[in-house]
Structure 1
Amino acid sequence: MYKRLAGALAAGVIGGALMLTGCSGDDDAASSTTGMHDHGSTSAIDHSGTGHPADGGPAPAGIQGATNPTYAMGTEVTLTADHMTGMKGTKATIVGAFDTYTYSVSYTPTTGGARVTDHRWVVQEELKDAGDKRLADGTEVTLLADHMTGMKGAKATIDHSTDETVYMVDFEAGAMTMTNHKWVVDSEIRPAP
């Protein structure tokens, strides 16, 4: 276990030296100059170097299970999301499916450093005092999500949102096994071959 963790940390340090930190869905030149990876973005670096835990933990309190998800729990799928290095094209297992509003957000980490732009995703239940209505693009929020170091408690701006079914997944990214990874949405998944 310690060898795996050390290997994952080393990969993150090396990746961090090569890429800037952030979180975005755009792969254009503007994205690379603002330090995005496609989590929404910290360039395409391994999250082990940015404080992204291997185990995402349980779903947030109050979130509703999906009544009719495209992919049921236990379904093997292929990820088309590119939120982190090694994610796109990877086989994954659905471990949770939920009906809620899901947001891409931009925020400055509470630990300092570069602004994270277009971080995909946080759900309604991970926003302080969000209520149950869909929040508009540009709304200022406080993050309760703790997906990455410096995220919880950060002030953020909603970039865009979706009401697609949102999933937690287990998958392997390089040397790191990710469990309960939050989040991917229907349009970022396809059936496994």
Structure 2
Amino acid sequence: MDMSKNKGSMAMMMKHDNALPTDLKMAKNPKFKVNSMVKIKANHMPGMKGAMAKVTGAYDTNLYEINYKPTNGGKEVKNHKYVVKSELTADNNKGLKKGSKVTVKADHMDGMKGAKGKVVKCISGPAYAVTFTPTTGGQEYVNHLWLSQKELEKA
């Protein structure tokens, strides 16, 4: 599934309540501090862009944009934003970079965990988790994983 063309079904697949990771180091000096309010500039799914959000986590780790084939038989997901290093295993055990083939350990969406994929872009951290209600209404996303610093602005 190409997220830019199927955002409606993407929102249905996204998990609404994520646990914050315990294996990542909190960012020492993030631009947006935990518990601060931000406005989301990203458009990963319907109702995200322009939503007000509370920062629930800021971590010193890079973000990876990936393509992957869901384990539930769906179409390939292209340019999924984002997963972090601890949510991927490099199939060649040589680290993660653009073009690396990976196995996905993240479980942000149906069919993601265990999927085979490829890194298409690497973004320097920090990685942010946020809680927000979509501008289109509907259920709140608690600890939505992940947004980059460039995708947020001060509220």
- What TM-score do the two structures reach when normalised by structure 2? 0.91
Q: Distance in 1 between matches of 2:112 and 2:82?
A: 12
Query: What does residue 48 of structure 2 align with?
Result: 87
Select 1:65's aligned residue among 3, 18, 26: 26
Structure 1: segments with no counterpart, 5+ residues: 1-21, 23-34
> Post-superposition shift, 1:134?
5.9
Structure whose CA Rg is larger? 1
Q: Distance in 1 between matches of 2:101 and 2:24?
A: 21
- What are the residue-to-residue correspondences of 1:100-115 with 2, within 5 Å? 100-115=61-76
**Higher helix content, 1 or 2:** 1
Select 1:175's aligned residue among 138, 141, 144: 138
> Post-superposition shift, 1:58?
2.1
Structure 2: segments with no counterpart, 5+ residues: none
* 2:96 partner letter: L
Query: What does residue 83 of structure 2 align with?
Result: 122
Q: Distance in 1 between matches of 2:63 and 2:69?
A: 19
1:53 to 2:20 alignment: no
Q: Distance in 1 between matches of 2:77 and 2:45?
A: 14
Q: Distance in 1 between matches of 2:95 and 2:124?
A: 9
Query: What does residue 18 of structure 1 align with?
Result: none
1:143 to 2:104 alignment: yes
* 1:86 partner letter: G
Query: Match of 2:54, SS?
Result: strand
Q: CA 1:98 to 1:183, structure 2 compared with 1: closer, same or farther past 3 Å? A: same
Aligned-residue sequence identity (percent) comes to 36
Q: CA 1:113 to 1:129, structure 2 compared with 1: closer, same or farther past 3 Å? A: closer
Contact 1:126 1:144 in 2 (8 A): yes
Provide the alpha-carbon RMSD of the alignment: 1.9
- What TM-score do the two structures reach when normalised by structure 1? 0.74
Q: Encode CA deviations 1:22-65: one digit per residue, 9 max, x unaligned.
A: 3xxxxxxxxxxxx323xxxx622264522x21102221x42111
